[in-house]
Amino acid sequence: MSVPDIDDKIPLPAAFLDDMKSLFADESEYEAFLKSYEDSPAAGVRLNPWKGSREELLIMLDDIFSGDGTALRSTVPKKPPLFSPVPWEPNGFYYEPVIRPGKHPFHEMGLYYIQEPSAMSAVPLLDPQPGERILDLCAAPGGKTTQIAGRMCLLTQIPGKMRQCGLLVSNEIHPARAKILSQNVERMGLSNVLVTNETPERLSARFPAYFDRILVDAPCSGEGMFRKNPEARLEWSSGEVTACADRQRHLLDLAASMLRPGGRIVYSTCTFSKAEDEDVAETFLAGHKVFHSCEYTRFFPHRQRGEGHFVAVLEHNQAERDSRPSVRLPVSDYSCDSVQYLNDSTVSNSDGLSVCRSAELPEYGVGYKIAAEKSTRFAQSENRSPEFPPLKDRQVLKIWEEFSRTVFAPEAAALFPRERLLLFGEQLYLAPEYCPKLDKLKILRPGLHLGTLQKGRLVPSHALALFLKPADVRHRLLLPLADERVARYFAGDVINCENEQGWTLVCVEGFSAGWGKASGGVVKNHYPKALRKKF
């Protein structure tokens, strides 16, 4: 069979094809693999559980993108369904290429993250739990970090109220990529993420036996992306495969030193190369006898709908973890994780959205855990790490209290425990639960950025706006998507309002978009200049 000419200009490397031939037991499978290069890559979005339940977001997106809803622009015929479930990630959906979810205000508001469907497979296998300490070692641009953070959201006993529990250290070695990672963490409204720009070596020296789970989504030769990004074929060589495998072994050794007894490492790549994937995992296991492998999972474009991916689950043998009280937040057994989801034929069949709508999904949507009352109280009383010094500056505390009193609804004050406030120069942050000491680490985002101190006042940050829900604030401007003020707000214009005064959360379809400052019937635009765009 001839090699497909999907991209004549950039052929698939011959040595790569030889490797692939030896990977498949029979010739017909190799041919099916080659044929998959004639298909278009699958496109996926992952809904953000912090923003809303799966069914709420899905129904709204389908209405809007199909033109049934209050669309800003797009009007696409409704059949077939525009979104259909990704079987291995409850919040993941394939979308039809006719729609452009990346070009919509909802993308800027963090309602979803555009992520390659196969790449959604590693985090369900990492299985992060609310209240744990997690490390994402190679995290930019942030697909898997934002997916992990979604799984750390916990529903509290107050109906509809969630908390982002535990600590996620999200690291990226390259400064420019770390900045993009930080922006994506902000866009998704996350509060419990520490974004670092460190070498894995320095992190391992700093965090021995510290994390419950570690994701090593390693830099790799990228063979699985040859269909989606044909340019990746140009960078490929056998030497590059060997160099990547060596680097991956090194990263796994460092990850092992940062894992607590009984913890889990997930090692993933977007390559097919056995020299990188299985061989690296096997070398790791041979050198670390206290680990065992639970499973290796491979994604091939001719077997699943998605690009190439590899995931290995490597678990530390010790069954009982040490008993540090701040982590291992016990939650009730209720959960709909990916395994249950896959087994649920009413949801995982191919009818897509209509099935999701009619299926009896739990009240709060798939993918959440519901906290037992006791454990929520436990977590709240223990959520400050003893390593972390409380903010003592009385002037700053007074400014924050004045801001909270005038801007937040009374119940929302509990979202910002005073003992987790953190000042970096003029920037005020809310540190994540169990935040470690931050000195001598290169940190881009130490939790939730609350705002900037200016002339004795706090100017709230965009990150705070995207974290908040409309009910959390005293003043909000609720706009339907079809309102002409939406486009003007994102473009940076002043917009009209009625009775609002002072800091006002501008919301679209009930989701926060950014800040404005209201006075005399107009809202002065505080949407960040760098993010302004025309829709």
100 binds ligand SAM (CB under 6 A): no
Shortest gap between Cβ of 108 and ligand SAM (angstroms)? 18
Could you say which of 270, 336, 435, 507 is catalytic?
270
Among residues 230 and 362, whose Cβ is nearest to ligand SAM? 230
Compare residues 245 and 486 and give the one whose CB is closer to ligand SAM: 245
Q: Which of 200, 308, 365, 367 touches ligand SAM (CB under 6 A)?
A: 200
The residue ranges of DSSP E strands in 115-206, in sequence order, are 133-136, 153-155, 162-164, 167-171, 193-196
Query: What is d(CA 272, CA 262) in angstroms, rounded to the nearest whole number?
Result: 29
Question: Considering the complex, what minimum distance in angstroms separates the CB of residue 170 from ligand SAM?
Answer: 9
Q: What is the DSSP letter of 208?
A: T
186: contact with ligand SAM by CB under 6 A = no
CA 517 to chain centre: 30
Q: Cβ of residue 337: shortest distance to ligand SAM, in angstroms? A: 19
Binding status of residue 179 toward ligand SAM by CB under 6 A: no
**SS3 letters for 449-507?**
EEEEEECCEEEECHHHHHHCCHHHECCEEEECCCCHHHHHHHHCCCEECCCCCEEEEEE
Q: How far is the CB of 388 from ligand SAM (least distance, A)?
A: 26
Helix, strand, or coil (residue 182): helix
Q: Is 212 exposed, middle or buried (0-12, 13-18, 19+ CB in 10 A)?
A: buried
In whole angstroms, the minimum distance from the beta carbon of 218 to ligand SAM comes to 6
62 alpha carbon, distance to own chain's centre: 21
Q: Is 177 in the site for ligand SAM (CB under 6 A)?
A: yes
Residue 149 or 173 having the CB closest to ligand SAM:
173
C-alpha angle 299-185-41 in degrees, rounded to nearest 5: 30
Give the residue with the Cβ less far from ligand SAM, 152 or 495.
152
Residue 11 or 219: which CB sits closer to ligand SAM? 219
> Using CA atoms, how far apart are residues 162 and 298, in angstroms rounded to an integer?
34
Per CB under 6 A, contacts with ligand SAM among 119-138 are 119, 138
- Minimum CB distance to ligand SAM, residue 213 (Å): 14
Amino acid at residue number 160: G
Residues 235-264 that bind ligand SAM (CB under 6 A): 247, 251
Number of residues counted as binding ligand SAM (CB under 6 A): 17
**Running DSSP on this structure, what letter comes out for residue 362?**
-
Instruction: Kindly tell me which of 190 and 508 has the beta carbon lying closer to ligand SAM.
Output: 190
Nearer to ligand SAM, 169 or 251 (CB): 251
Asked if residue 190 binds ligand SAM (CB under 6 A), the reply is no
**d(Cα 175, Cα 388) in Å, to the nearest integer?**
26
Q: List the one residue from 219, 470, 510, 528 that touches ligand SAM (CB under 6 A).
A: 219
Among 186, 217, 277, 472, binds ligand SAM (CB under 6 A): 217
* CA dist., res. 382 & res. 372, Å (int): 16
Q: How far is the CB of 39 from ligand SAM (least distance, A)?
A: 23
Strand, helix or coil at 133? strand
Instruction: Please give the Cα distance from 163 to 49 (Å, whole number).
Output: 11
Cβ of residue 152: shortest distance to ligand SAM, in angstroms? 16
Instruction: Verify binding: residue 418, ligand SAM, rule CB under 6 A.
Output: no
**3-class DSSP assignment, residue 9:** coil
CB of 92 vs ligand SAM, minimal distance in Å: 13
CB within 8 Å of 342: residues ≥ 6 apart: 87, 88, 348
CA distance 463 to 193: 12
**Strand 495-496 to strand 522-525: parallel, antiparallel, or no bridges (unpaired)?**
antiparallel
433 binds ligand SAM (CB under 6 A): no
265 or 450: CB nearest ligand SAM = 265
Indicate if 270 belongs to the active site: yes
Q: Strand 427-430 and strand 421-424: pairing?
A: antiparallel
Nearer to ligand SAM, 144 or 163 (CB): 144
Token pair of 467 as six digits: 């974290």
Judged by CB under 6 A, the chain residues 136 through 175 that form the site for ligand SAM are 138-144, 172-174
The residues assigned a catalytic role are: 270
Rule CB under 6 A: which residues touch ligand SAM?
Answer: 119, 138-144, 172-174, 177, 200, 217, 219, 247, 251
